[in-house]
Structure 1
């Protein structure tokens, strides 16, 4: 028979167990819930750190709306800012921004798994499953027991690319007159910001002074492009090199789609802005091509810019909107609805026009469920963009094309701006912050949720074809 004291001691344990079970149900049942919770907590942490007097050069903390907007932009690797990074934030403040960028780019699931290993703890089965799903690792790329090794490969690969970019940029900045400590910090900043497709710059005037410097622009383009491919594709390339016949379908669609978008974007952007004296019209032909190539790479999620985006021709803004909406590869540091999503829909349209029974790409049949998920992601994303545009139209008196540009840039986590973000009131900044948060996690969560939801029926209704078109 238990004593009264033992019964009283058991009550708190049962209460704590209930609280722990409730937390597991709310936040630990799926990778999507863990991602949303941890991303939100990291944003809150970065916002609080940016509110400290030590983070601002003036010694006075910024408004909560501006601090939370900057933190959200960093963690969602967007790059939209209302405050100039170089003039507003101290070294500590910029370090907080880089911390948010690195966490957001690498992924909270990956980071928590790595911290767990760093503390000497073995990855549990549940953690391995979450990490495997978070990195979109297939059975061909690695077995479940090898997820820890694959996580290390991801981090080492990311760090190597960032270090290479940082080294090149640092050496170039030193030749341009910067001291070693200053050039080293700027190099590290650009390395992390470019690979994670963040678009933050440590210089007050951004990259404009280096608009014709190939030794700075091309490494940044390389960092953004590799980061936009996605870790699953990088792992495939690391395993099989350039032996394309061994690549899986996701890697082929992502790489070839990225190349097509970069080439097509360069041609169209260059043609649209060739004679625009407010952007690239005053440059020589070689520099115009370089600027067009740089813009084509950055509009897909990089966020760096060499020209005033507000001075673009309307047709160029529309092209930029489309490229930002598409974005980069799945499970990458880039945003947008992803290349594979748009590619699957495009391939399905071609198959329907030809009268094919199945959707086929690279001698592989794409399941109908994948097509339905792709259509759902695009339609949900378009709906969010429309709703965000409508809300900002009620808040701001800006024109429709400016609001649409800013909304797509926020939702696609691109970071390019026509200057509207700096003019919005606090309510407008919160709207853009929500769009950035949804854009970073929303499409992943929706795609994962739809892929895991299956309903089996023991019966089938008769088929009937409604009139389409």
Structure 2
């Protein structure tokens, strides 16, 4: 093992290797005969797709979770979700602390790459806080859900507790796996279930650095970092805009919001706006939504949630930074200033690179999937963005995709979870530093 770590000198390479190993282990476990309800092996492709979807906290499925998998299979999925949400390197660092009581420099670098910690000296505390905070949030959500399932739906305490824990883990880690064939559509008008899961999704998707800063100085907004301000502002705007757009669009749709009461429509619209943060739950039938609602959902899934959290997508911080870059360019300013801070050029390049790489990957994947399947462009684009953004929402075509298409979605989920830049740097043999500068020449843009 040390020899392997010596070869993987870049922390991103270890992160990719760790996630890949978790997917392989999950595939092997889910391929076991007793992982399915029928007692027959699910097959390597179904096991691989489900394991990748769980580790990458996506939620896309090719089989019905509750009817296809046994209790053992469901537990494996829940564990893979937890591992993927916290991060392989975060768990590895935690185990190192518990066993040895110390962290070496290399382990700190690996944990920093996964948790996005800004100071290596704080990695041990960050890992501890991430795990404790995650378990606390999941426990709170599990308690509320367990009580609701037991008192409101007649489930036995044991079954209600099992459902509560599974869906709390799935929600906080933005996975979207559910143990009902219709996902959460039966709870569309239940605020206890919908708001609890939505709250877990939002908190898990904000990003741990933002959450920890809010816990430390929630009374002093003037001391919030640029990351926290951008994340909270863009998140609030997207949730509000998404709720209004989806509720207004689907208000009279007889297959979605039409039959519901006014308050239930608003609740369902809000829930539908929260889930594209990469959670994957749905209280409405996505396949019955209008194409205009799919477009809104596409945009929300592409943006995703906060950095260093359990959400996917290009991240709300990336979207916010690009908005400020465009605004500065439109005003003719040579520097990008946000509040009383100047945005480094390196952050601007990273944001542009991430978005361009993501859009290119989505375009190529959409074309490929269109060639491989008979489905329309809007449905295929929805599926591709959902996989890349690790959202887990679907218009119902996931199971109908060809084996080659399933492999493509697996690659998209893996890439979307780790990020194009992380994956690219992990594959690079070494970092290259240019030791000279070339003469500058202006180029016409546009």
What TM bracket, shorter-length normalisation? over 0.9
Mapped to 1, the partners of 2:389 and 2:134 lie a distance apart of: 22
Instruction: Please give the root-mean-square deviation of Cα atoms over the aligned residues, in Å.
Output: 1.8
1:289 aligns with 2:266: yes
Give the Å deviation of 1:425.
Answer: 2.2
Please list the CA deviations of residues 73-93 of structure 1 after superposition, one character each: whole Å capped at 9, or x if unmatched: 000000001111111111111
What is the match of residue 10 of structure 1? none
What is the match of residue 174 of structure 2? 197
Give the Å deviation of 1:129.
Answer: 2.2
Mapped to 1, the partners of 2:122 and 2:350 lie a distance apart of: 29
1:382 aligns with 2:363: no
1:332 aligns with 2:309: yes
What is the match of residue 161 of structure 1? 137
Please list the CA deviations of residues 361-402 of structure 1 after superposition, one character each: whole Å capped at 9, or x if unmatched: 121100112111111100000011111111111211111111
Distance change in 2, residues 1:33/1:24 (3 Å): same
1:71 aligns with 2:48: no
Mapped to 1, the partners of 2:377 and 2:7 lie a distance apart of: 39
What is the match of residue 12 of structure 1? none
Please list the CA deviations of residues 46-95 of structure 1 after superposition, one character each: whole Å capped at 9, or x if unmatched: 11111112111110111211111000000000000111111111111111
Please list the CA deviations of residues 236-266 of structure 1 after superposition, one character each: whole Å capped at 9, or x if unmatched: 1122224211111111111111111100110
The alignment partner of 2:100 has SS state of coil
Give the Å deviation of 1:146.
Answer: 3.5
Give the Å deviation of 1:118.
Answer: 2.6
Judge conservation of contact 1:26–1:33 (CA < 8 Å) in 2: no
What is the match of residue 9 of structure 1? none
Mapped to 1, the partners of 2:404 and 2:367 lie a distance apart of: 14
Judge conservation of contact 2:33–2:39 (CA < 8 Å) in 1: yes
Paired residues in the alignment total 443
The alignment partner of 2:442 has SS state of coil
Mapped to 2, the partners of 1:458 and 1:51 lie a distance apart of: 53
Please list the CA deviations of residues 158-185 of structure 1 after superposition, one character each: whole Å capped at 9, or x if unmatched: 1000000000000011112010100001
Give the Å deviation of 1:150.
Answer: 2.0
What is the match of residue 150 of structure 1? 126
1:213 to 179, 186, 190: 190
The alignment partner of 1:132 has SS state of helix
Judge conservation of contact 2:57–2:84 (CA < 8 Å) in 1: yes
Give the Å deviation of 1:444.
Answer: 5.3
Judge conservation of contact 2:354–2:421 (CA < 8 Å) in 1: no
Judge conservation of contact 1:265–1:296 (CA < 8 Å) in 2: yes
Mapped to 2, the partners of 1:118 and 1:238 lie a distance apart of: 25
1:104 to 80, 84, 89: 84
What is the match of residue 181 of structure 1? 158
Mapped to 1, the partners of 2:110 and 2:14 lie a distance apart of: 9
Mapped to 2, the partners of 1:355 and 1:453 lie a distance apart of: 34
Give the Å deviation of 1:132.
Answer: 2.3
- TM-score, scaled relative to structure 2: 0.95
- TM-score, scaled relative to structure 1: 0.91
Aligned pairs (5 A) from 1:182-261: 182-261=159-238
What is the match of residue 393 of structure 1? 370
1:310 to 262, 267, 287: 287
Mapped to 1, the partners of 2:214 and 2:315 lie a distance apart of: 19
Give the Å deviation of 1:360.
Answer: 1.0
Give the Å deviation of 1:192.
Answer: 0.4
What is the match of residue 445 of structure 1? 422
The alignment partner of 1:307 has SS state of coil
Give the Å deviation of 1:217.
Answer: 0.4
**Larger deviation: 424-433 or 75-84?**
424-433
The alignment partner of 2:337 has SS state of strand
What is the match of residue 60 of structure 2? 80
Aligned pairs (5 A) from 1:402-417: 402-417=379-394
Judge conservation of contact 1:373–1:447 (CA < 8 Å) in 2: no
1:24 aligns with 2:35: no
Give the Å deviation of 1:460.
Answer: 4.5
2:439 to 461, 465, 469: 461
Judge conservation of contact 2:34–2:72 (CA < 8 Å) in 1: yes
What is the match of residue 6 of structure 1? none
Distance change in 2, residues 1:181/1:114 (3 Å): same
Judge conservation of contact 2:272–2:284 (CA < 8 Å) in 1: no
Q: Rg: which structure is higher? A: 1
Judge conservation of contact 2:415–2:423 (CA < 8 Å) in 1: no
